[in-house]
Amino acid sequence: MRVSDYIQIAHREITRQRIRSALTVLALAISTVILVTLAAISLGGRQAITTKLAPDDALANIIVTSNKMSANISFFGSVQEANDKTAKLDDNSVAELLNIPGVKNASPRAGVWELQKFNIEGIDKTFVAQAQGVSDSGQSITLSAGKSFSAPTAREVILGQAYLKDLGLAKTENIIGKKITFTTQNGYRGDGAVVPGVRATQSQYDDFNKTPAKLTATVVGITGAGSDENKLLIPLEWARQVRTAQISPTEKKDYLAEDGYSSILVNTVSPAAVKQVGTAISQLGYGQVSTGAIIEKLTQFSTIMWLILGSVALVALLAASLGIVNTMLMTVSEQRYIIGIWRAVGARRRVIAGIFLVQAAFMGILGGTIGAAAGWYASAMVNERIAAILQTQNLPVVDLAAAPLWLCVGSVILATVFAILAGLYPAWRAARQDPSKILHSI
């Protein structure tokens, strides 16, 4: 028999049993939709992790903390070892880190909690001040526009890129050079504060402790994408002045020196050096987190999810295949007289088996194609919905689901293979029919 004959017979049998065949194809299509959609979400998640969440320059950076416990990354729980090496990060810590082979620069950073909120000149919005004092002597800040600080104590600000998105500003020149007004915490005593003198009354002191101060700075730069895009960066020495409180006319308290730096950003010579440098940092007793390590953990988690979701999809495909077995066995039972006639006129067993295998393959191709197309559409709808949610939150848009051509084609092939395997037993049973017994029973 020619291939076209097999296809013609398979098509005729499927259309003859329309409802039964349609339900079988539908079950196979649903399982293929599940397979494509879950695989697309897993693939899209991995791509988002590796390409969207980590700019290339961030892969060479390590954030150093004072204690290992604060930097331990684990998705499934682990024990943590307390670390009493150091109570704070200071200039000695910076010197230690700079002596590690492979370290290009170590830039200390300090949280500035005294700055509570801020307004931008000409813009009717108030933001929480996630301010950090940054030493940029080694150009540790990635800029998308503008320049770095002109002096260590300059009242200048590098604004995070995320603020531009929230303000709806497409051009950075619309904000470079604008004034920022900070509102401090009540009773602020740092740089720029007007502290009551020794002859002030108790009422004046009470009013001072209930009133915030105003500090003004100039926007000189905009950060690039990455870990700094939602922060407000100021020069480290100005941050020190802000955090130095006027206790009395003759006494000042440097809280930055007392608390230490909140973290130190280490720039390595290349992403390949991150693992070796990270090991050396851990041996010194510090905590360390790198973008590469986070990506590795997320990738491992994504791989586990891939296996779990893939197993669910394969179980669904297996269940649909059992439906093909049932449909084909019923077809063999209904067509046993026709099979007997075919065998009586000389049709070989392999021809009979081939007819039923082609019929199973036909349903597999049809169900797989419908399911792959629906899965691709479902993935597109997931991306569209996620994009809408991210845009309302002023977050970068990422494709959570990725359904490439190879995934869709592979799903059709897999569904067809499962269908053919499911048709093996019914085809074998049809081929083993004894024509003499069948015709004798007519």
Distance of CA 259 to the CA centre of its chain: 34
Percent of the chain residues past pLDDT 70, beyond the cut: 85
Tens-digit pLDDT profile for residues 327-336: 888 877 877 7
On whether residue 269 sits in a domain, the answer given is: no
249 and 127 belong to one structural domain: yes
320 and 390 belong to one structural domain: yes
Q: Which of 262, 288, 313 corresponds to the end of one domain?
A: 262
* pLDDT at residue 163, as a whole number: 83
- Cα gap 156→143, rounded to integer Å: 14
Q: What are phi and psi for residue 199, nearest 5 degrees? A: -95, 5
220 and 317 belong to one structural domain: no
C-beta separation of 324 from 20 below 8 A: no
Span 299-323, average pLDDT: 79
On whether residue 78 sits in a domain, the answer given is: no
On whether residue 77 sits in a domain, the answer given is: no
For residue 33 the two structure tokens come to 């939709």
- Cα gap 422→85, rounded to integer Å: 64
Whether residue 10 is predicted with pLDDT greater than 80 in this model: the reply is no
Tokens 């007392």 belong to 258
* pLDDT at residue 78, as a whole number: 44
Distances (CA, A) of 330 to 101, 319, 339, 357, 426: 73, 17, 13, 14, 9
SS3 content of the chain, % helix, strand, coil (to 5): 55, 15, 30
215 and 126 belong to one structural domain: yes
Whether residue 247 is predicted with pLDDT greater than 70 in this model: the reply is yes
End-to-end CA distance of the chain: 27
Q: Which helix (H) or strand (E) holds 31?
A: helix 18-47
Tens-digit pLDDT profile for residues 221-233: 988 777 778 889 9
- Cα gap 116→217, rounded to integer Å: 14
Question: Considering only CA atoms, which of 108, 55, 399, 387 is closest in space to residue 223?
Answer: 55
Tens-digit pLDDT profile for residues 349-384: 888 888 888 888 888 899 999 999 999 998 888 888
Whether residue 79 is predicted with pLDDT greater than 50 in this model: the reply is no
* pLDDT at residue 384, as a whole number: 85
Q: Which of 262, 293, 321 corresponds to the end of one domain?
A: 262
- Cα gap 25→359, rounded to integer Å: 12
Distance of CA 90 to the CA centre of its chain: 33
Whether residue 172 is predicted with pLDDT greater than 80 in this model: the reply is no
On whether residue 416 sits in a domain, the answer given is: yes
Tens-digit pLDDT profile for residues 268-287: 888 888 888 888 988 888 88
On whether residue 388 sits in a domain, the answer given is: yes
C-beta separation of 394 from 166 below 8 A: yes
For residue 305 the two structure tokens come to 């999810």
Q: What are phi and psi for residue 180, nearest 5 degrees? A: -115, 135
Question: Considering only CA atoms, which of 401, 423, 419 is closest in space to residue 411?
Answer: 419
Distances (CA, A) of 147 to 3, 46, 172, 230, 245: 71, 34, 12, 18, 30
Q: Who wins on pLDDT, 144 or 291?
A: 144
Between helices 291-334 and 405-431, what is the axis angle to 10°? 30
Average pLDDT score, the chain? 81
- Cα gap 119→128, rounded to integer Å: 9
* pLDDT at residue 217, as a whole number: 94
Q: In which band, very low, low, confident or very high, does the pLDDT at 234 lie, cut at 50, 70 and 90?
A: very high
Q: Who wins on pLDDT, 419 or 59?
A: 419
* pLDDT at residue 1, as a whole number: 63
On whether residue 372 sits in a domain, the answer given is: yes
Q: Which of 262, 280, 313 corresponds to the end of one domain?
A: 262
Tens-digit pLDDT profile for residues 33-74: 888 888 888 788 777 766 655 555 567 788 888 876 555 555
Distance of CA 285 to the CA centre of its chain: 30
Q: In which band, very low, low, confident or very high, does the pLDDT at 409 lie, cut at 50, 70 and 90?
A: very high
On whether residue 61 sits in a domain, the answer given is: no
Whether residue 239 is predicted with pLDDT greater than 50 in this model: the reply is yes
DSSP state of 262: S
254 and 142 belong to one structural domain: yes
C-beta separation of 374 from 381 below 8 A: no
Whether residue 183 is predicted with pLDDT greater than 90 in this model: the reply is yes
* pLDDT at residue 80, as a whole number: 45
Q: Within 10 A of 432 (CB to CB), how many other CB atoms are there? A: 10
- Cα gap 331→351, rounded to integer Å: 16
Whether residue 345 is predicted with pLDDT greater than 80 in this model: the reply is no
Question: Considering only CA atoms, which of 364, 374, 410 is closest in space to residue 28?
Answer: 364
309 and 413 belong to one structural domain: yes
Percent of the chain residues past pLDDT 90, beyond the cut: 17
204 and 306 belong to one structural domain: no
* pLDDT at residue 143, as a whole number: 84
Tens-digit pLDDT profile for residues 122-171: 888 888 888 999 986 546 677 888 888 988 889 999 998 888 777 776 56
Q: What's the sign of the alpha-carbon dihedral 220, 143, 49, 387? A: positive
- Which residues are CB-neighbours of 264 under 8 A, at least 6 positions away? 63, 64, 89, 93, 94, 97, 106, 107, 108, 109
Provide the residue type at 417 as one letter: V
On whether residue 267 sits in a domain, the answer given is: no
320 and 431 belong to one structural domain: yes
Question: Considering only CA atoms, which of 234, 254, 236 is closest in space to residue 244?
Answer: 254
Q: In which band, very low, low, confident or very high, does the pLDDT at 436 lie, cut at 50, 70 and 90?
A: low
Q: How many domains does the chain have?
A: 2
Rounded to a whole number of angstroms, the CA Rg of the chain reads 34
* pLDDT at residue 87, as a whole number: 59
Whether residue 204 is predicted with pLDDT greater than 80 in this model: the reply is yes
195 and 326 belong to one structural domain: no
For residue 208 the two structure tokens come to 């001072």
For residue 65 the two structure tokens come to 């903390």
- Which residues are CB-neighbours of 402 under 8 A, at least 6 positions away? 40, 43, 44, 47, 379
Structural domain range at position 152: 111-262
122 and 29 belong to one structural domain: no
- Cα gap 320→312, rounded to integer Å: 13
* pLDDT at residue 53, as a whole number: 53
Q: Who wins on pLDDT, 267 or 1?
A: 267
19 and 141 belong to one structural domain: no
